[in-house]
Amino acid sequence: MRSAGRIIVVTVACTALFVAGAVWRGVTWSDVRHWGTPRNVIESGGETVRIPTAAGPDERLLPAVTSTTVGSYDFLFPDGGEGGGPVRYDPCRPLSYVISPAHMPEGFETIVKEAVASVQEATGLQFVYDGLTDETASFDRPLVQPRYGDRFAPIIIGFESEDQNPELAGTVTGLGGSSAVPGAYGDSRYLRAGVVIIDWEDVARIEDGGGGDALARAVVEHELGHVVGLAHVGDKDELMHESNLRLLHWGPGDLAGLALAGSGGCEAR
């Protein structure tokens, strides 16, 4: 299992250019509220794209999770998030996810949904299933895509083999991570457009070898842990250990880290 993530370099347009663009392309209420502050932009798919503004109420969608467990956890992006903490997803907007079904083992959609539900419960982040997609899961994906509308691309979960993706060689059963991207305004960063890639040959062997759905689900949970910002730890009693071969459930440090991963602040509307 391996984590992956990237930091997106942001270019801030000068105010004069922003206002001129606003006249011709229209502005949002967020732009009005932040008038005089240029909207951050990113390079996505070879184009310069304005970062989508946060939508919806300025409050959590689900109650924050309070963890009483103690153990090992770490973050992929330990600083740069809202309020100076680790970089996390905005808990005030739903985390949409899609499944790229190519090579998905039979019945595995249920395992994915169970793993997502487990992460939602442990983080207090609301996940919403947006169905199947013809997009190929890749860490080089454009973060904003016309197929998904004027928003960041949803978390994508896909399946490849070692032959298709050399990063799955050896004992690596999955890859997971998200991009750390500034909000529409200001310097705080948030996680966006997560990716999970599961070695479908490995999980098929896990299920055929007696590990069953529970161990296969633990593989997906581990990678989703990376998606919400957790890094590997050295403690073998945690599911976020880099080489889990036996644990079926979150460890105490995992639960503490997941609760913290879901307790970030709302992006300014």
* Token pair in block for residue 167: 């990063």
Q: Is 115 helix (H, G, I), strand (E, B) or coil?
A: helix
Q: Summarize pLDDT for 109-135 with one digit per residue, the tens.
A: 999 999 999 999 999 999 999 999 999
Q: For residue 4, what pLDDT is reported?
A: 60
Query: Cα angle at 218 between 217 and 220, to 5 degrees?
Result: 65
First to last CA, the chain: 36
Confidence (pTM)? 0.87
* Biggest CA-to-CA distance, the chain: 63
User: Could you give the CA distance from residue 200 to residue 198 in angstroms, rounded to a whole number?
Assistant: 6
pLDDT digits (tens, 9 = 90+) for 41-57: 988 878 888 898 888 77
Confidence (pLDDT) at 7: 45
Residue 179 confidence (pLDDT): 95
Domains and CATH numbers, the chain: 2-7+56-261 (3.40.390.10)
* Euclidean distance between CA atoms 242 and 59, whole angstroms: 34
Tokens describing residue 83: 């309020």
The low-confidence residues of the chain, meaning pLDDT below 70, are: 1-36, 210
Residue 183: what pLDDT? 92
Contact between 100 and 136 (Cβ < 8 Å):
yes
pLDDT at 129: 98
- Tokens of residue 184, six digits: 């529409």
Provide the 8-state DSSP code for 47: E
